[in-house]
Each structure stands twice: as C-alpha cells, then as structure tokens.
Homo-oligomer: A and B are copies of this chain.
Amino acid sequence: MRRKKGTLLPLEVSIMQCGIDLAVRGAPHFHGFMIAKKIKDREDAKLLTAHGTLYKALDRMQKSGFLESQWEDPLVAAQQRRPRRRLYHVTAAGEAALVRAHEAAPQATSAQPNPGLATP
C-alpha cells in the first residue's frame, strides 16, 4: 500500500515507541528480535506474525531516515555465543515522525502518559 511520505504505519509506530521507550530506560539501541518480543507482549499481537514483516519495516524506516543501524561487533556476539545483531536507534527525524503520527491519529498512539518520564 502506497502512502504519503513521512507517514508511519501502525507497526512502524510500535517499533518507534519500543525504541524510544528503551532509550529512555537507558538502552542505547535495540535489535529486531528484541522488538519482536516486546511487540508480541504489549501490542495485542495482531501486528507481526512472521518476523519477515518486522525486518522489512526496519529496513524501510532506515531508508526513510527514521532509524539508523550498525552491525554489532562480531566479537561480542561470538563471546555470547549467539548470532550477530543489527543495532538500531531512533533518529531525530524518527522522533519527529512519531510526533506527527501522534497528532494525526491520537486514538491508539501512546495511551499511557509516557511511563518513566512523568512530569510532576
């Protein structure tokens, strides 16, 4: 489905939110598999059945400039005896796009008042 440039699809919004949430909690970056698990729990699932969908979305968002990524140091992955991860982080453009998505469709986007950054 074509779409207007700068728009975020529901899955993409979820990814962004997860990413920003993790950043707020001190995680400098995230990887696909991690997001997959997070989304599976918190979202009503629905989105994201096969992992291909997620990785394609990550690619897309990177091309749009909403995310940036780098491969994990192979030595780190090796030490932990697991496959290498691709580490993403949300860019400023990504955050802006998320805000725009908020404004455009405030129904499902961020029902909670930002846990971890509550202004007293």
Confirm or deny: A74 has a beta carbon within 8 angstroms of a beta carbon on chain B.
yes
Measured in the bound complex, the distance between the Cα atoms of B78 and A84 in whole Å is 8
Copies of this chain, how many?
Answer: 2
Q: A61-82, CB under 8 A of B: which get 1 and which 0? A: 0000000000100110110000
Closest 3 CB pairs of A and B: A74-B74, A74-B78, A83-B83
A78 — which chain B residues lie within 8 A by C-beta?
71, 74, 84
- The size bracket of the interface on A is under 10
A72: min CB distance to chain B, Å: 9
A9: min CB distance to chain B, Å: 27
A77 — which chain B residues lie within 8 A by C-beta?
74, 84
**Given A74-B78, A78-B84, 8 further pairs, Cβ under 8 A:** A71-B78, A74-B74, A74-B75, A74-B77, A74-B84, A77-B84, A83-B83, A83-B84
Contacting B at CB under 8 A, from A65-118, are 71, 74-75, 77-78, 83-84
A84 — which chain B residues lie within 8 A by C-beta?
74, 77-78, 83
